Each structure stands twice: as structure tokens, then as C-alpha cells.
Chains A and B, each alone.
Chain A
């Protein structure tokens, strides 16, 4: 690793100030950033740790019946504390990485990084979540801008994520066992005004909504409703773990499984 300083602010305001420095970088749980630093793929002059900011931690139920999760909340905490409010989200969190990763990794860190195979982007997009930052609110539909790219500005911090709770939902992850990321993961959520289907791990553009499946499932929430649909392999990730054709195939399979398992 190249050398850098670490700051550990205890308030959002102090963190935002610290991030104004040149080449300053926010540090969530570090489960992606620290390996990245070890490979010298990043060269910040200063890391601003967000994990000591009490006002950015925890799970609560918002006024509109939304589940509100602080940006610095670990996956382990979400898996426990969101279980009563949004079981599909808690279940997704409980299968990210491994237990030690879940004790450090945070929801804000995952969404800010927007790894194309990460689980949380599927939940946020599949739920139509709102990403709350220190300066504004961003709808999930406007937030994900492609692989490792988001609508966040330089120095902007995800302070909270608000998830509308669906009638039914489920996330199916086809595990890539070496990385423990999703080879393909599909999040299906049924709301009163329609169904949302978000796919991670498949596209070179990162998480996306499978709108044809959303339309079919909004009319008939049954796995058979997507039987007639086809998923194009164009733009799908192809690597030694799976070809683009295979990933395209998995999108449909995992969607059907998610619908069948929705509760």
C-alpha cells in the first residue's frame, strides 16, 4: 500500500469536511477498499473512516413504513435488525461474503462502490430505494450509472438508505464460491403498484432492471409468466466463471426461483 493518513470523525459534518481535502477517500468497512489499496489500485492521501459515526449506524422503521438503514451499518447488523421489517433484505445481507466480512462491510460502502456483482445494488434497485447523502436524496433508478460508477459526487457520503417494504420479495444468488459475490443474483419485489426485478452479476453495465419480466410478473406473479421471455447475452459479463450466454440463462432461472421463493 502507498502511505496515507487515517481520520476517524464521529459526525457526518466532520467527515464531509475531512473529505474536502485533496485525494481524500471515504473508508466504509474496507472489505473492498483495503484489498484495492493493497494492490496499489488506489492512492488516496487520506482515508476518512465512516465507521465511528453513530448517526450513520442502525436500522429503524421510518414514518412511511420504510426501512431506514444508516450508511455505516454492517451487513451483520442488517441481517439481524432488518429481519422483522424486511425479511428478504435481511436474508440478502446474511449471505454477503462470509461472517467476518459481514461484521465489517457496510451498506453505504457497498452501494458507493457499486461492484457489478455485489448483492446490495440489486436490493436497492429492486426495492426502488432512496439513497440519502449528506447533501441530497437520490432515487435508486437514478443512482446506478454503470460498473463501479454512481451518481455520487466527489466527497459525497451515503448517510442512509430507505427501502419501501414490498408485499413480497426474495433475492436469489447464484454464488461464485471463490469470491462469494453473485455470479448472477436476482432481486424480485412485489409492490401494490407493480413488480420490480433487479439483476446483479450479469451485465457489464452493473445492476439493471429486467423490465420485460417486471411487466409480465406485474400481470401474473408466477414464475411461469417469464417463460416466454428471452434474455439477450449482449453486454453480459463473460469470464472464466461463466460465459455471457450462461449468465443470460441464469437471469431467467434465478428470476423464477426468486418469484417462487417470495414471501
Chain B
């Protein structure tokens, strides 16, 4: 076992992990932060996307020990301090960017990473950025609209699709 300490959603946390403990398992099983989902466990689907030191990564394709000392952000830390939804989360609700909701934590974390680097992405840039996030319900259109809206852009232009 290895002892790890990291910052998760602004709080310092510690735990003992095996070498093979994945970051997503540490978050879900040790910290009980079950908002980060495991969809495929083969790093295809993106339901487990979290931010490590500000960058979107698949928490099922990184060991907890590799996140020792890192700053980790998960879906649980996305809402505003008063508990209201973040701009991105609210946009997903407003534009029906989710149905079953399983992929949504990863979608929101990927969207947040995209908008941090590219505050006004084009529709094409959004679709390309979401290549690693699979949704089996929505057909993606409403997710793209939500991210356009969250970035303060007009969604009417893509509404006809």
C-alpha cells in the first residue's frame, strides 16, 4: 500500500492505495465521490473524465498513486458555492443535454476543460473535443447546444439540425 495525498475539489484528502488502484476507484470507493462514473473501464467512453492539475483526463486510465500531490476536480465540485448549478450544468438542463445522465459528469468536465482553453468554441470544435465522450441517449445535438449556450453563444444557428 502507498499513502497518497491530493486536493480534491479544494479539500486536502489522504488515503492508502494499492499500486493498481485507479484514480476513479479512489474517488468513488475511498472518497465516496460517486459522481464520476465508470462506463466502459476501457478508456473509450469518457464518463470518468475529471481534471487533474486543470487538465481533463480519464480517471479510469490513471492510477491514484500518480495523482499524489495533484489538484483534482470532479463533478461534485462544479456547482457554485451556494449550491446552484454552474453555468455549464444549467445549460445542460436548459437545453436537454442529458437523458439518462450517465455520461453527463464526463461531458460536463470535458466541456469545462474545453471552455477554459477555448471560451468561444465553434460547433465543430465542440464536436471534435467531445470525441472521447460517448453518449448513447441524446445524439449529441443538445449537448453541443448546451455547450454553445454555456459559452454565451447563439444556439439558434444549430437548432435546426
Contact = CB atoms under 8 A, between A and B. Distances in A.
B56 A34 contact: no
Given A3-B18, A3-B19, A98 B132 contact: yes
Given A6-B2, A34-B62, A49-B66, A101 B55 contact: no
B65 to A, nearest CB: 4
Given A35-B42, A101-B43, A104-B62, A1 B20 contact: yes
A164 interface: no
A180 B134 CA distance: 13
Contacts of A178: 44
Interface residues of B, number: 30
A35 B45 CA distance: 13
A82 B41 CA distance: 32
A114 interface: no
Contacts of A76: 55
B69 to A, nearest CB: 9
B110 A4 contact: no
Nearest to B64: A6
Given A99-B113, A100-B110, A104-B61, A3 B20 contact: yes
Contacts of A34: 22, 43, 60-63
Contacts, number: 78
Interface in B48-72: 49, 52, 55-58, 60-63, 65-66, 68
A51 B52 CA distance: 13
A99 B66 contact: no
A30 B43 CA distance: 11
Contacts of A38: 41-42
B105 interface: no
A74 to B, nearest CB: 8
A4 B63 CA distance: 12
A103 B132 contact: no
Contacts of A168: none
A51 B110 contact: no
Contacts of A49: 63, 65-66
A31 B62 CA distance: 8
Contacts of B114: 99
Contacts of A31: 43, 61
A100 B48 CA distance: 10
B131 A99 contact: yes
A85 interface: no
Interface in A73-123: 76, 97-101, 103-104
Given A3-B20, A4-B19, A4-B20, 13 more contacts: A6-B2, A6-B63, A8-B65, A31-B43, A34-B43, A49-B65, A76-B55, A99-B110, A99-B131, A101-B43, A103-B52, A104-B57, A180-B131
30 contacts: A5-B2, A6-B63, A6-B66, A8-B68, A30-B62, A30-B66, A31-B43, A34-B22, A34-B62, A35-B42, A38-B41, A38-B42, A47-B19, A49-B63, A76-B55, A98-B132, A99-B56, A99-B114, A99-B129, A99-B131, A99-B132, A100-B49, A100-B56, A100-B57, A100-B61, A101-B61, A103-B52, A103-B55, A104-B62, A180-B132
